[in-house]
Structure 1
């Protein structure tokens, strides 16, 4: 039996417990940076992006990529495979990628199973499987459900939509039946809320951060914690948040300024005391954008990736979170 899990915490606990089989930790962060529909080999735009933004070296990324793909290619060696995932965008994209991958294979004797939860008894704010103890994970063993054609097809459609370069496809998937993966719709809706909003050109991560800073939370670590609590369905890690914070602090037209000595953490350079102790504040432009007086994309410009969607140049649309639809700003 092969268990494919979403992180090292879960993988380590499964190995220590009484759950039989091999464990494969799927090390990817699909909410960050470009993806393509078929990623059978390391895709250079993604490799370059993750090195530039998160500090993940190209060598490290490629080595890990080839290692986990090789294990996946040998799936036929296992009678059963169990996918362990949770409800957030981080996991739902990982799950959809793997379902897309398996949908193109002849499984033969290999049975696919899914364990996917959005809460756990006794945990008020369930953030993920990593919160659970070894014994709690053991209690989930055997509660997984068989993955059938409907789940494979749903995962395939979600991944192809997320990897599409067309914004319309990212929106259309919200209105399709994805109930075979019951957490997918909410996660994909939050994915779209990360895009430039009709209010001021900010995504929900940036907007939430500015709102919290206005309310007096100005320590980077505390800010990450509070944004994570409010947007828990994103499953956003600290490296992604530091990158978003860094982007907002870049001149010209910065929304934020950091006071004190600091260096932004990344994959190579972990959190330094200087960064822990610095203070985050809004610039004058940051305040104007936060309250909707200015549109940051119009002021700053944009060159960013969300899945297969590259946002750059003259962006003619904005996302209306409340109405869940695109607004053509050229038409007013």
Structure 2
């Protein structure tokens, strides 16, 4: 049986335990940030490439080599394989996790799929664990028996069907109690009734409390206060700039 590990980023790849055997693939995306609505995978990748180039100046060829090629490898995992998904509880990780489950549900057959995650959600996730801690997280992995419903999370998210997303989260709560928490964080970030959405409102509050418009200290405080989002500096800086422009 072939063994695969799908990781939530290159940082985990660099610290991955040598004692845990198998082929490593990396989900190099941030699907939580920007447009994802599409009618096919090809269209999705084009939408993402356009967004990343226009927003962060990431070359399309780089996206193809580093991201699309890795997802193609995931699609081509042979049947009867063991697949370990290393993802954390924050929204950034969860949206990538849902998409990965969607790919596996669409393109793989008769595989055993497991979720590996840190026991406790922190702003640091896997990065807070040493080799022993990561090995223990792998030992504590949980088998995923209903890939289809996890795949439906991606379909609901990508089609902006919040009601269905919430309903699925409630159904999955017993087995995956962290999923409704991430879904709530997603719901909270959507602007409504003059509210800018939780991340931007939080940034405004932090800027007021610290009495600063300097990004560094605001980013640090945001990461501590809103670790449920799992945003990196690129995502937070974009929101930060938009808040500043609106002041």
TM-score by length of 2: 0.88
Partner of 1:171 in structure 2?
Answer: 163
Q: What is the aligned partner in structure 2 of residue 238 from structure 1?
A: 233
Partner of 2:26: 25
Q: Aligned pair count?
A: 240
1:212 aligns with 206
- Residues 17 and 135, structure 1, Cα contact 8 Å, conserved in 2: no
**Greater displacement, 52-61 / 38-47:** 38-47
Task: Name the counterpart of 1:136.
Answer: 133
8 Å CA contact 1:17, 1:138 repeated in 2: no
1:2 aligns with 2:21: no
Shift of 1:77: 6.5
8 Å CA contact 1:154, 1:181 repeated in 2: no
Pair 1:73–1:173, CA change in 2 (3 A): closer
| Structure 1 Cα separation of the partners of residues 76 and 164 of structure 2 | 34
CA spacing shift, 1:17–1:60, aligned 2, 3 Å: same
CA–CA distance in 2 between the matches of 1:186 and 1:192?
A: 10
Considering fraction of residues, name the structure with more helix. 2
Unaligned runs of 5+ in 1: 256-332
- Contact 2:45–2:68 at 8 Å: present in 1 too? no
Q: 2:187 aligns with which of 186, 189, 192?
A: 192
Q: Deviations over 1:209-257 (max 9, x none)?
A: 111111124221110011111111111111001111222333xxx32xx
Matching residue within 159, 179, 183 for 2:154: 159
Question: Helix, strand or coil: the match of 2:107?
Answer: coil
CA distance in 1 between counterparts of 2:6 and 2:242 reads 33
Offset at residue 39 of structure 1 (A): 5.0
Q: TM-score, normalised by structure 1?
A: 0.67
CA RMSD in angstroms comes to 2.1
Q: Does 1:101 align with 2:95?
A: no
Query: Secondary structure of 1:207's match?
Result: helix
Label 1:38 to 1:88 Cα distance change in 2 as closer, same or farther (>3 A). Answer: farther
The alignment status of 1:69 with 2:76, answered yes or no, reads no
Preserved contact between residue 79 and residue 108 of structure 2 (Cα < 8 Å): no
Provide the rounded CA distance (Å) in 2 between the counterparts of 1:242 and 1:104.
Answer: 35
Tell whether the 8 Å contact from 2:219 to 2:236 is kept in structure 1 after alignment. yes
| Structure of larger gyration radius | 1
User: Do the aligned residues in 1 keep the contact of 2:32 with 2:96 (CA within 8 Å)?
Assistant: no
**What is the distance in 1 between the residues matched to 2:156 and 2:179?**
12
* 3-state SS, counterpart of residue 141 of structure 1: helix
Shift of 1:112: 1.3
The 2-side partners of 1:203 and 1:27 are apart by 26
Q: Aligned partners of 1:155, 1:77: CA distance in 2, in Å? A: 19
After TM superposition, the runs of 4+ consecutive aligned structure 1 residues lying more than 3 A away are 36-39
